[in-house]
Amino acid sequence: MVATDIGTVLVTGGAGFIGCALSQRLAARADRWVVLDNLHPQVHPNAERPAELHPAAELVHGDVTKAADWDSLLADVRPDILVHLAAETGTAQSLHEATRHAEVNVVGTTQMLDAFGRAGHTPRQFVLSSSRAVYGEGEWQREDGSTFAPGQRSHAQFERKEWDFAGARPLPSEGSRTRPAPTSVYGATKLAQENILSAWTSSHDVALTILRFQNVYGPGQSLINPYTGIVSLFSQMAMRGESIPVYEDGRITRDFVYIEDVAASLETVIGDLATGSTPFDVGSGVGTTILELAQHIADFHGAPAPHVTEQYRDGDVRHAECTIQRTTAELDWKPEWSVERGIAGLQQWIAERV
């Protein structure tokens, strides 16, 4: 059930893609809806308040990694609920900018917790936006029914074009069963966030809700940031009449979840102190290959057929999808948007902006 009394809410990174969509649902219902965001130029090229952020949201320009920014903020704001969205999110980028990802995602989280200690204030709930990246390759099943965690595909495998793990098939991940084993720096920092917040909230008797998002896309996502999603990138290529290039053999699998479904999942758990700390998987519950995604987008625009390049990215996960049965059973939430419907909704939004 969606909580009706949510009090004062502080959202880190709340001027970003997910934060803006969430503000449209809840900002007007909160006593105060305060957003802390550094308006990073990779997302906000003009460092301006985004039009998609609800007018009721109070925007504070600050950096989660800076203690002084936290102290200044908490001198004025006493949040009942903290929604932690602030993060560096580029999976590929994190391999080459590991320090920046660790500083924002890990140190930014510890700076936040230390600041609450200095302020002598404890929120009643933390909500963390985590990621499917914490699973890495997850679990695979052999032909005899046994399961194993294959770990990261090696550079040598990629060079041999051995895209899958021989004699096995991937299993959908699930927060109460699948052991996290990230294969990217980004995934490792998101898992660190989970562990840090779990330790801190348990010690302070604070509710913690963790949502592990799959590949989020939809209106509002950055059209200039090459690290935040292939759906917008593919869409812009198809709009220009280009053939979309698809890596490996085209059968990389992802679960693409529409932004409105993601915002709805957050809306459901904010203020619900009884969700427990076992992470919830938030996705469509349906795996889509990258070639299928590219074909849907190409068909929408009448663009040339996508082409398979056999290029690859070191550290990339082969299959990433989840089962959402537990999430839909325990939360008052279920996804409403199919990939086909979501792609159509995104195309119209992009067309108005390019």
Read off the pLDDT band of 227 (50, 70, 90).
low
Indicate whether 3 belongs to any domain. Answer: no
Output the pLDDT for position 179. Answer: 95
Residue-wise DSSP of 98-164? HHHHHIIIIIHHHHHHHHHHHHT---SEEEEEEEGGGGTT--EEETTS-EE---PPPHHHHHTT--S
Number of domains making up the chain:
1
Read off the pLDDT band of 3 (50, 70, 90).
low
| pTM of the entire predicted model | 0.94
Is 186 noted as a catalytic residue in this protein?
yes
What gap in Å lies between CA 12 and CA 84, rounded to an integer? 5
Q: What is the CATH number of the domain that holds 291?
A: 3.40.50.720
Indicate whether 2 belongs to any domain. Answer: no
**Given the residues 186, 217, 258, 312, the one annotated as active site:** 186
Render pLDDT for 5-52 as a digit per residue (tens, 0 to 9). Answer: 799 999 999 999 999 999 999 999 999 999 999 998 777 778 789 999
Indicate whether 60 belongs to any domain. Answer: yes
Angle, CA of 349, 186 and 331, to the nearest 5°: 65
Instruction: Please name the amino acid found at residue 81.
Output: I
Indicate whether 345 belongs to any domain. Answer: yes
What gap in Å lies between CA 318 and CA 304, rounded to an integer? 25
| Residue-range definition of the domain harbouring residue 328 | 8-351
Output the pLDDT for position 51. Answer: 92
Render pLDDT for 256-293 as a digit per residue (tens, 0 to 9). Answer: 999 999 999 999 999 999 888 799 999 999 999 999 99
Indicate whether 31 belongs to any domain. Answer: yes
Mean pLDDT over each residue of the chain, to the nearest integer: 93
